[in-house]
Structure 1
């Protein structure tokens, strides 16, 4: 669930008069719509299209060298507060450390005064953040990153906030600036139209928006917790699967003879029909390599996918960010792993595992694992490797960057059920993970 888009949709409906029942009392504001104005959508008959310039007085903060650090003074009983962008963004009049003398204010800054019930709007960088100066706030001035709005009718304040954000977003293509977008110039801003409902409907719409937004905020607040629970559930599913507790156990014992040394202590029990096996006994394991970066012919116009740890982001690898040439392959320890090969990271970021969906080479931080026989299912080994990620990290060596070598990896044990049970376990995990991912994607 994209809560940001959901809120935007609610505002769209509100501004079109589709969120609450329309008022039966027509708006007493007479709109003067020029012939060249094409409303972006229809509004109820009781509403009116009005210019922003007709709703109040607008004033941007001083530009140029009017407000520089050289004229700022410490806060005192005789100083005047300079309101900043963060006051608007964080909705807090107490923030800020800039003040000017009363003398400088009286001489040059009276035109930029801001007082209780005035509205300040951030108009550079983060644009369109609206804040109404509360009654307890001190009188001050706006700086160059703010605009002051003094409404003719304070009772439309809540609706003004809703409509102003809409009109700024809708007309953001007219904002000036390259790296930083700004509020449109005054002559454009004042000529922009907003829909205006009767006052009783304004109140009902704002109340409904607040109710819906508060519910969405609750969902947003718990979203992170839900995502953590989903991740924990996936881990738990793998843990149960690898103990033989996810599906009915096979009645046909595993034909793999496990050779478990006396110093191996399994972390959990497995069914009698299963076996503990070393990865090196059931998989061919080899690592990749990196062609010399000093040789352009090993890299330029390369067509062979070459994978780094950063390319292993999902369960399946479908592409690479870099490519090497045939010469690069032949003049390095890099090798091509076939589609279906298991990939496992052994350096720095340990224990990331994925299945290749393409033929590709890798660097030396990634090993490829290929089952030696047909009675080992790659996807089952994939899940088994996911399950031992924490164990791999615990045995990883190195001070700043942990790593393991192929010998350590080949001697790692995983539980292995009979082939038919491997198939049923993989199918059940896929089914459960698919359900969890649907829930995850809906949040």
Structure 2
């Protein structure tokens, strides 16, 4: 390792002075530095500004005071001066002391954050001004060591980026594999061997979907005001069912309704916690930020969830689903569908898990 020494950033960076009003004639013909993204790329535009401006000269090091620790630092490569708002600062740098690539990596490092915490009064502010930035004392290796460090970082970052791409590819493969498995499940392919050992027993609802459907219809309370569900046409059937299975409309085997509508001052009743679509995640619920609204006792039957109910988002995150497995009931808002199987036994939970996985395939 080469020699390291304590230096202040102001020993190798010199702030370019000058501050201008947006309508100053001195900068009237200059384009504007719109932003520096987190990859360190400067973006130029001709958009006007109402904020005081600075001038950036070709070859200057430009830093975003708001996002420098996220990588918003760049060398301006243009051939003409540009302006930038005073949320940026521009510097002339001494390349005999600092390798700019090394410095870019440094300001994105935990070491830089720790330096700010230790040396800036009151900790990290929302914006790092030159008067705070330049006096910071850092450990700096000699120039050859800086260049070697940059070379090592570049090699390892290439490996990391390659690995990250491979991870994303494998995630896509895993997601597609999951969908394929679920699709095979709802088409009966995963249980083909089991069905050979357990053939259809006509009239037995445990082995015959037609008999199960008849049992459900006995439990089902038909609302005469609602239109009769239409028969399922052959063109609607996406695949051929195994022997003993049956196509049905969802409304023929379970009830589904939306929860309580938020209607402001018209709400009456007792304040109760309720689920929003934000609380519904795939597989489970986020109960860390439940809100309350007033719900009357007579609304509870329609607007509350019990253990085993499937909840499906309608608004915000359409189709996102989870099964309520808590041992207490909770209310829910109109943006959520509550799905409840008609048969009152252990079957509802089994059915709702099946329906939940069915939602994932669509």
Whether these two folds match at TM > 0.5 is: yes
1:361 and 2:331 are equivalent in the alignment? yes
- Mapped to 1, the partners of 2:86 and 2:315 lie a distance apart of 51
Contact 2:307 2:325 (8 Å CA) reproduced? yes
Where does structure 1 lack aligned partners over 5 or more consecutive residues? 1-22, 28-46, 76-80, 100-108, 392-443
* Residues 71, 145 of structure 1: alpha-carbon distance in 2 compared, 3 angstrom cutoff: farther
Superposed, which structure 2 residues align to 1:56-95 within 5 Å?
56-59=13-16, 61-62=18-19, 66-71=20-25, 75=29, 81=30, 84=33, 86=35, 95=44
- Go from structure 1 to structure 2 and tell me whether the alpha carbon gap of 1:181 and 1:168 turns closer, same or farther (over 3 Å shift): farther
Whole-angstrom distance in 1 between the partners of 2:145 and 2:333: 64
Aligned equivalents of 1:164 and 1:347: distance in 2?
42
**Mapping 1:32-71, distance limit 5 Å:** 47-59=4-16, 61-62=18-19, 66-71=20-25
Asked if 2 retains the 8 angstrom alpha-carbon contact of 1:307 and 1:321, the reply is yes
1:267 Cα deviation after fit: 2.0
C-alpha distance in structure 1 between counterparts of 2:244 and 2:63, whole Å: 70
SS in 1 for 2:243: coil
Alignment-derived partner of residue 61 in structure 2: 119
Cα 1:348–1:87 shift into 2, 3 Å: closer
Q: CA deviation at 1:195?
A: 1.7
* Residue 321 (structure 1) aligns with: 290
Give distance in 1, aligned partners of 2:346 and 2:17: 74
Partners of 1:223 and 1:149 in 2: CA distance: 39
1:390-410 CA deviation, whole Å, 9 max, x = no partner? Answer: 87xxxxxxxxxxxxxxxxxxx
1:269 and 2:240 aligned? yes
Q: Kindly indicate whether the alpha-carbon contact (under 8 Å) linking 1:61 and 1:143 is maintained by their aligned counterparts in 2.
A: no
Residue 213 of structure 1, aligned match among 143, 150, 157: 157
Q: Is the 8 A contact 2:61 2:73 kept in 1?
A: yes
1:253-264 equivalences in 2 (<5 Å): 253=200, 254-257=207-210, 263-264=233-234
CA pair 223-255 structure 1, distance change in 2 beyond 3 A: same
- Residue 273 of structure 1: CA displacement? 4.5
Q: Report the alpha carbon displacement of residue 292 of structure 1 after superposing the two structures with TM.
A: 5.9
1:339 to 307, 310, 315: 307
CA distance in 2, matches of 1:177, 1:244: 61
2:147 maps to which residue? 203
**Contact 1:120–1:131 (CA under 8 A) maintained in structure 2:** yes
2:203 is matched with: none
Query: Which secondary structure state, in structure 2, belongs to the residue aligned with residue 249 of structure 1?
Result: helix
Contact 1:293–1:299 (8 Å) recurs in 2: no
| Mapped contact 1:285–1:369 kept (Cα < 8 A) | yes
Helix, strand or coil for the counterpart of 2:74?
Answer: strand
Instruction: Choose the corresponding residue for 1:249, options 181, 190, 194.
Output: 194
1:183 aligned partner: 128
The reply on whether 1:232 has 2:181 as its aligned counterpart is no
Distance 2:250 2:55 in 1: 74
Partner residue, 2:105:
162
Q: Deviations over 1:52-80 (max 9, x none)?
A: 22224234552xxx2322526664xxxxx
The structure whose RCO (Cα within 8 Å, separation 6+) is larger is: 1
Which one is further off, 337-346 or 281-290? 281-290
How does the TM-score come out when normalised to structure 2? 0.69
SS of residue matched to 1:315: coil
Question: Contact conserved, 1:297 with 1:328, CA < 8 A, in 2?
Answer: yes
Q: Which 5+ residue runs of structure 2 have no aligned equivalent? A: 201-206, 215-230
SS at match of 1:48: strand
The DSSP-based 3-state class of the residue aligned with 2:265 is coil
Taking structure 1 as reference, are residues 164 and 373 closer, same or farther at Cα in structure 2, changes over 3 Å only? closer
Q: Identify the structure with the greater strand proportion.
A: 2
Structure-1-length-normalised TM-score: 0.58
User: Which residue among 74, 81, 88 is the counterpart of 1:146?
Assistant: 88
CA RMSD of superposed structures (Å): 4.2
